Amino acid sequence: MSEHHSTQSGPVGPSRREFLLAAGLLGVTAAASTALVGCSDSNEFAAPLQEFPQGFTWGVGTSAYQIEGAYNVAGRKPSVWDTFCRIPGKVLGDATGDVACDHYNLYPSDVALIAALGVKHYRLSIAWPRIIPGGRGKVNEQGVDFYKRLLDELEAHGITAHATLFHWDTPQALQDKYRGWESREIAGDFADYCTATVDRLGDRVKHWYTTNEIRSFVHTAYTYPGGPFDGAPPFAPGIELASEQAFWQTSHNALLAQGMGVQAVRASASRGSTVTLVEDSVTYVPLTETAEDIEATAKAFRSMSPNGGIIVPILTGEYDPIFLENLGASAPKIRAGDMEIISTPIDGFGFNTYSASYVRAAENNIGAEELPFPEGYPTYQSSWLKFAPDTVYWGVRMFTESLGRDDLKIVVTESGASQPDAIDADGEVMDTGRVMYLRETLKSAHRAIEEGYPLEGFFVWSFMDNFEWANGYVERFGITYVDFDTQKRTPKESYDWFGEVVAQNRVL
Ligand code: NOJ
């Protein structure tokens, strides 16, 4: 950590950490700390000790195209994002991931900065177009070697890697060959890519994740006449399909790929490895915590689109019946055996959670009404990112209560907030809005654990500012500031704050 990021003291006297240390309040046992909650009468500075269980997984995350750069180096070929970025007007400022954070070259110092944060877990993604540049066929060992170097560096710093196999960088060659996700063929090619990767990196990675956010790389990348995005979806490849049915068929192909990917990873991974997917299931928060609205929340979580067509089939083996009824003739065509593949058992669930929708009970076939956000609702830099920290609690709870999957261990694989950060005159990045977002979100996560729901980890998105897809380099999600002209990294206030959270294993 740089000097100005050490805990501040100065004229206002000792920091809370120093104060608690002096008072002997740090390092107390969970039982003792519970007893301290509400002790403000005897010690007005004592914070409520919302401790996390011992062994809770704290981490930070990134993805390949968003940080690596080196787009044409060592055999890598284009992905659909390389192509999309080159269409004027598709990405803010016509930015590309050609250089991004230059992590391909700067990974040693980036890993050192992750280690300095104190986390022991790092979520990265592996680029399909680096490993199999043509999408299918020959493996590019030079591409594999980059990940070997990176993973070795992580291991040397005592950091466990969590590797996502697909974070939106579909090889352009497959887009050209059979229109990418529009074809069922991609499921087999994805599985082969998973096998090739796990065969080569499985000695270094034990925690595998197949696809990241079908909801994004299909549902925000394709549309249909009368569908969202007015014919021009914001994510690559940005295609308007002929019909809503073709859209759901494309989504079905992604579900198949994820299931076949899980099977491929399991077949090649070393003993003790885990495999699951990452999804940003839409989370609903009850308008009031009454039995009626909580029941409506459970119904919405299961039956509203797209959950009913993504996580429900993956986790239960069937598309939600009410969801299908509402889709009518646009429902995907399902071949014999598809649902078994799609619901291949997974080890836990990678839950990406940012925003939420409020619901209340209603008289419709779902039994729930989603409420619109009024003008002026607290929103982060990304217009879709509404501040609704209860989302983690309700999301985690709904896997049990709405889907009946209380066996699923859940890890928040992404949570974070965007802000237009800047370095101030003192050389600091005072991102208090992000600290507030994360603090409230962690309180909500803590509530889930306290009530016995199986939440086992939390990865902040993101370790550093990066290529934020259609928003280029304008929206910043990092806890580390990146100057994209010089590639200098500056830990933000939230980096220090999160480091303390990890060190003390509790909400601060
Ligand atoms: C989820 C995606 O996985 C990640 O790539 C993106 O940067 C964040 N959401 C923020 O939009």
- For ligand 1, the distance from its centroid to the CA atom of residue 285, given in whole angstroms, is 21
Neighbours of 96 (CB within 10 A): 18
What band does 45 get if pLDDT is binned at 50, 70 and 90? confident
Q: How far is the CA of 479 from the centre of ligand 1 (A)?
A: 14
- pLDDT score for 285: 98
Q: Which domains does the chain have, with CATH numbers?
A: 16-29+59-504 (3.20.20.80)
Question: DSSP alpha helices (H): ranges in 304-354?
Answer: 311-316, 321-327, 338-342
Contact 454, 409 (CB under 8 A): yes
CA dihedral of 178, 182, 183, 188, whole degrees rounded to 10: 110
> 213 CA distance to ligand 1 centroid (A)?
9
120 burial type by CB count under 10 A (0-12 exposed, 13-18 middle, 19+ buried): middle
DSSP secondary structure string for all residues of 378-410:
-B-SSTT-B--TTHHHHHHHHHHHTT--TT--E
Does the pLDDT value for residue 5 go beyond 70?
no
User: Which residues' Cβ are closer than 6 Å to ligand 1?
Assistant: 63, 66, 212-213, 352, 414, 461, 468, 477
Going by pLDDT thresholds of 50, 70 and 90, the confidence category of residue 42 is: low
Are 435 and 443 a contacting pair, CB within 8 Å?
A: no
Mean pLDDT, the chain, integer? 93
For residue 434, report the distance from its CA to the centre of ligand 1, in Å.
Answer: 15
How much is the pLDDT for 197? Answer: 99
Distance 93 CA to ligand 1 centre (A): 19
**pLDDT surpassing 80 at residue 253:** yes
Q: HSE on the CB side for 429, CA within 13 Å? A: 27
Phi-psi region of 101 (alpha: psi -120 to 50; beta: other; left: phi over 0): alpha
Q: Which one of 415, 461, 465 would you pick to mutate in the ligand 1 pocket, going by the greatest count of ligand atoms within 8 A of its CB?
A: 461
pLDDT in tens, 446-505: 999 999 999 999 999 999 999 999 999 999 999 999 999 999 999 999 999 999 999 999
Residue nearest to atom 6 of ligand 1 (CA): 468
Contact 495, 479 (CB under 8 A): yes
Return the ligand 1 atom nearest residue 466 CA: 7
Strand pairing category for 160-166 and 349-352: unpaired
Alpha carbon distances (Å) from 138 to 122, 128, 142, 439, 504? 29, 12, 12, 46, 47
Please compute the mean of the pLDDT values over residues 346-354 and round it to a whole number: 98
The residue contributing the CA closest to ligand 1 atom 5 is: 63
What's residue 48's pLDDT?
A: 73
pLDDT value of residue 43: 63
Express each pLDDT in 425-455 by its tens digit. 999 999 999 999 999 999 999 999 999 999 9
Return the DSSP state at 87. Answer: S
Q: Ligand 1: which atom is nearest the Cα of residue 212? A: 3
List Cβ neighbours of 60 (8 Å cut-off, separation of 6 or more): 114, 117, 119, 122, 123, 459, 460, 461, 462, 463, 479, 498
The closest-lying atom of ligand 1 relative to the alpha carbon of residue 468 is 7
- Mutating to test ligand 1, I would choose from 218, 477, 479 the residue with most ligand atoms within 8 A of its C-beta, which is 477
pLDDT at 203: 98
Tell me the best of 62, 68, 215, 414 to mutate to test the pocket of ligand 1, counting ligand atoms within 8 Å of each CB and taking the most.
Answer: 414
Token code pair at residue 53: 């269980």
Tokens, residue 345:
């058992």
Compute the distance between CA of residue 432 and CA of residue 429 in angstroms, rounded to an integer. Answer: 9
User: Partners of 207 in the beta sheet?
Assistant: 162, 274
Tell me which of 22-31, 162-171, 296-305, 401-410 is least confident.
22-31
Q: Which residue is listed with tokens 């080569």? A: 200
The residues assigned a catalytic role are: 213, 414
For residue 298, give the nearest of 400, 191, 447 by alpha carbon: 400
Count Cβ atoms below 10 Å from residue 227 Cβ, excluding itself: 17
Atom of ligand 1 nearest to the CA of 168: 5
Measure the CA–CA gap between 277 and 314, rounded to whole angstroms. Answer: 10
